[in-house]
Structure formats: structure tokens, C-alpha cells
């Protein structure tokens, strides 16, 4: 006989399966998924001539999100966005997602109406459906400490030998970013300042779905960069397909930190033009726009390098592309201000959320 807990888990898995079928448009059918949820393993069928790329990301309550700041849909959306953004950074196409989820006992129980878990999967599934990524497996368990813990694995593919790496850049190349910077940190600061009240989502898509672009503002920018970041898969794939970039990384920890990763792997330095940085409208209205743009994390935009001879479009797949600086010989990163003064730019990224949430 099964325990109530086990029944709760089975019910949850069944709901994931049926819920996913609805959001993904009729089940986990994909050219690349031979077998999905329901057997001991999933079976993937990668495109011919492709290599497999795998990325895994924790979403831990209190570290990566807070239930009183992030609606359940946002937690699910962000978990999927983090994995997809890593695939985007390497120019990969997603094949399948796998999720391991530990929930407090009360959240495993089946209730009438919408549970936190159901809303979490609505957020996760909404973004997955947008990019046609099937949920091909996972695991659920009761969380021992009352906290939500999620680990997502994204599997993608790229033509053999072609994936964009952090290590491919050279001194003299130019640096570009997609979209705008600092929005996610600005919105998080606003949520923090707003106390424990969960934000009300004003979205055309309804409270379950992510909002679209900011009305009347720059194209390609999302209205809730912290709650519903948009992974730049189409841009990453275009950079690879059109051979525009020599290297790339996604901005999960903040420009100053992620740029230092790219520089270290490529054995170069960098110079950033402060005046060129595309600062998100939410950050521009905040007290320290430049700090948010340089050090605010979780924008999930792409940073990439290209030779000066390469013509980079002003936008790719509807997302603005901005030149922000260049790569230099040596190891340091400097910031050049409007007056032409240079100062060292230290990696100042994304450690503060954990401290804030204590």
C-alpha cells in the first residue's frame, strides 16, 4: 500500500505529465525525443552531426528566489530560463528538459484549485512551450526542511565543433550585448523594498503567463526582467549559424563578473565604454543605474565578441544588439567614463541576493 506522501508524489507526476501535454500543445512530442516521461530513462535522438550540450541549475528557495517576492509562475519560468540561457550562450538548440523538485509536504498534497506546484509548472511549461522544449523526465520528493528546491537540467545540441565557447575571443575584437542591462536587479530591488507582499502581475497573457514587451518602449525588452527573463535562444543560434561571434557567455551573474569569465577563458583584457551601455528603463529610474547595469545579475542577456571586420546587425530576432567595448591584450578590465577617464572594473556580480534574503 502506498503512503499518502507517495500518493501525493504520483498525483503530482501525473499532473506534470498531463499539464505539460496541454502547455506544450498535445504532449511531449518532439523530433528529438524518442521516449519521454513514463519509463526508467528518456531517450533522446539528437540531430545528425550534432554534439550534445548539457547544463544544470539549482533554484533554491531563499537563495535564488523567495516565495513572498516571486510568484510561483515566476519561479518555474526562471528555472527554465536559466537553463535555456546557458544553451543560448553556446548557440545551441534545446532538445529536452529534466526537473528534480523537492517540495514541502503540504505542497505535494492534491487540492482543488491551483496549488503552488501547479502554478510553478504553468510558469515552467509556458516558457518551455514557447521554445518547444519537452519535459522528458525528472524526480519529485518531499523537502525535509520546508523549502522548495528545484534542479533543472537542459539538454541541447549544436553542430559538431561549432558551439560558442567562452574561450574563442582574441584581443582587438569588439564586445556586444543583447537587450538591456540592470533591469532584473532593479526589479528585485523594487520587490525587496516593497516588503513581503507578492507583486500583482499585470499581464496581457493573464496572471499565469509572462508579460510581453514594455508597451511603447524599446523592442526586445521585457516588462518584468527579474520575474520573467527572456532567454536569447534565437540570437545565440543566429550568432552560431551566421558565424558572427567568436565567443559568448550569458549574463547570469552581472556584466562585470561574466565578462571576467570570458576574458579569463580567452586570455584577454577588456575595455568597456560606460556611455555605450544599454541600461534597462527600470534601472535608469533607480538610484544607481550604472552599478545595476555593471553588477546586477540575472538579466540573461548574451555578451559576445566579434572581429572588427564583422558586420553585426543592430538587432537580431527582434532583440537590440549594442557594441559596448573591446578586448585588449593583457588581463585587466577597465571602464572608460564619458570624460575618457579609465578605472579598473572589478567583478562585482551577484552574491548579494543570498545575503539580502537571510
φ/ψ of residue 146, rounded to 5? 80, 5
3-state secondary structure of 65: strand
Q: What percentage of the chain's residues is helix, strand, coil (to nearest 5)? A: 30, 25, 45
Smallest gap from Cβ 16 to Mg ion, in A, equals 26
Residue ranges in 252-291 that form contacts with Mg ion under rule CB under 5 A: 252
Among 31-39, 151-159, 216-224, 242-250, which window interacts with Mg ion (CB under 5 A)?
242-250
Smallest gap from Cβ 300 to Mg ion, in A, equals 9
* Nearest by Cα to 130 from 209, 204, 51, 243: 209
Q: Which is nearer to Mg ion, 21 or 83 (CB)?
A: 83
Among 4-12, 81-89, 227-235, 341-349, which window interacts with Mg ion (CB under 5 A)?
81-89
Smallest gap from Cβ 258 to Mg ion, in A, equals 8
Distances (CA, A) of 23 to 14, 87, 122: 14, 21, 8
Smallest gap from Cβ 157 to Mg ion, in A, equals 17
Smallest gap from Cβ 345 to Mg ion, in A, equals 20
Angle formed at CA 263 by CA 260 and CA 266, multiple of 5 degrees: 150
Q: Which is nearer to Mg ion, 30 or 256 (CB)?
A: 256
* 250 near Mg ion, judged by CB under 5 A: yes
Q: Which is nearer to Mg ion, 56 or 271 (CB)?
A: 56
Q: Which is nearer to Mg ion, 9 or 250 (CB)?
A: 250
Among 95-103, 174-182, 243-251, 321-329, which window interacts with Mg ion (CB under 5 A)?
243-251
Smallest gap from Cβ 334 to Mg ion, in A, equals 24
Q: Which is nearer to Mg ion, 246 or 252 (CB)?
A: 252
Q: Which is nearer to Mg ion, 20 or 300 (CB)?
A: 300
One character per residue 33-72, x = contact with Mg ion (rule: CB under 5 A): ----------------------------------------
| Contact with Mg ion (CB under 5 A) among 86, 151, 173, 295 | 86
Smallest gap from Cβ 274 to Mg ion, in A, equals 24
* Nearest by Cα to 347 from 246, 231, 249, 226: 249
Bridge partners (DSSP) of residue 41 are none
- Long-range (24+ apart) CB contacts under 8 A made by 283-288 are 283/180, 283/181, 283/182, 283/183, 283/185, 283/186, 285/186, 286/182, 286/186, 286/189, 286/190
Among 85-93, 97-105, 137-145, 160-168, which window interacts with Mg ion (CB under 5 A)?
85-93
Among 2-10, 34-42, 83-91, 344-352, which window interacts with Mg ion (CB under 5 A)?
83-91
* Nearest by Cα to 28 from 98, 100, 105, 87: 98
Bridge partners (DSSP) of residue 333 are 270
DSSP states along 166-221? GGG--TT-EEEEES-BSHHHHHHHHHHHTTTPPPPP--TT-TTS---BPTTS-TT-
Interface size with Mg ion, residues (CB under 5 A): 3
Smallest gap from Cβ 252 to Mg ion, in A, equals 5
Distance of CA 91 to the CA centre of its chain: 14
Q: Which is nearer to Mg ion, 109 or 153 (CB)?
A: 153
Kindly list the residues in this chain that would bind Mg ion in the complex (CB under 5 A): 86, 250, 252
Amino acid at each position: 500500500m502506498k503512503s499518502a506522501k507517495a500518493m501525493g508524489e504520483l498525483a503530482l507526476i501525473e499532473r506534470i505529465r498531463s499539464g505539460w501535454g496541454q502547455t506544450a500543445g498535445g504532449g511531449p512530442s518532439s523530433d528529438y525525443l524518442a521516449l519521454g516521461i513514463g519509463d526508467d530513462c528518456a531517450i533522446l535522438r539528437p540531430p545528425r552531426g550534432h554534439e550534445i550540450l548539457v547544463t544544470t541549475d539549482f533554484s533554491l528557495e531563499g537563495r535564488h528566489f523567495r516565495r513572498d517576492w516571486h510568484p510561483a509562475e515566476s519561479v518555474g519560468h526562471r528555472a527554465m530560463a536559466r537553463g535555456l540561457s546557458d544553451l543560448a550562450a553556446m548557440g545551441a538548440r534545446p532538445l529536452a528538459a529534466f526537473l528534480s523538485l523537492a517540495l514541502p509536504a503540504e505542497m505535494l498534497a492534491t487540492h482543488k484549485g491551483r496549488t503552488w506546484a501547479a502554478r510553478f509548472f504553468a510558469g515552467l511549461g509556458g516558457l518551455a512551450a514557447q521554445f518547444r522544449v519537452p519535459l522528458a523526465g525528472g524526480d519529485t520528493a518531499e523537502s525535509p526542511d520546508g523549502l522548495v528546491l528545484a534542479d533543472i537540467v537542459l539538454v541541447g545540441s549544436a553542430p559538431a565543433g561549432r558551439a560558442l565557447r567562452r574561450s574563442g575571443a582574441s584581443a582587438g575584437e569588439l564586445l556586444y550585448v543583447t537587450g538591456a542591462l540592470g533591469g532584473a536587479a532593479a526589479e528585485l530591488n523594487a520587490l525587496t523594498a516593497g516588503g513581503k507582499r507578492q507583486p500583482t502581475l499585470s499581464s496581457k497573457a493573464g496572471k499565469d503567463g509572462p508579460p510581453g514587451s514594455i508597451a511603447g518602449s524599446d523592442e526586445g525588452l521585457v516588462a518584468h526582467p527579474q520575474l520573467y527573463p527572456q532567454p536569447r535562444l534565437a540570437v545565440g543560434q543566429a550568432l552560431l549559424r551566421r558565424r558572427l561571434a567568436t565567443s559568448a557567455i550569458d549574463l547570469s551573474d552581472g556584466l562585470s563578473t561574466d565578462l571576467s569569465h570570458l576574458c579569463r577563458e580567452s586570455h584577454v583584457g577588456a575595455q568597456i565604454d560606460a556611455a555605450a551601455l544599454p541600461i534597462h528603463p527600470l534601472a535608469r529610474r533607480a538610484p544607481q543605474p550604472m552599478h545595476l547595469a555593471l553588477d546586477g545579475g540575472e538579466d540573461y542577456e548574451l555578451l559576445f565578441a566579434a572581429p572588427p571586420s564583422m558586420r553585426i546587425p543592430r538587432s537580431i530576432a527582434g532583440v537590440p544588439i549594442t557594441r559596448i567595448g573591446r578586448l585588449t591584450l593583457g588581463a585587466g578590465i577597465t571602464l572608460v567614463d564619458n570624460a575618457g577617464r579609465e578605472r579598473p572594473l572589478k567583478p562585482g556580480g551577484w552574491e548579494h541576493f543570498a545575503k539580502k534574503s537571510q
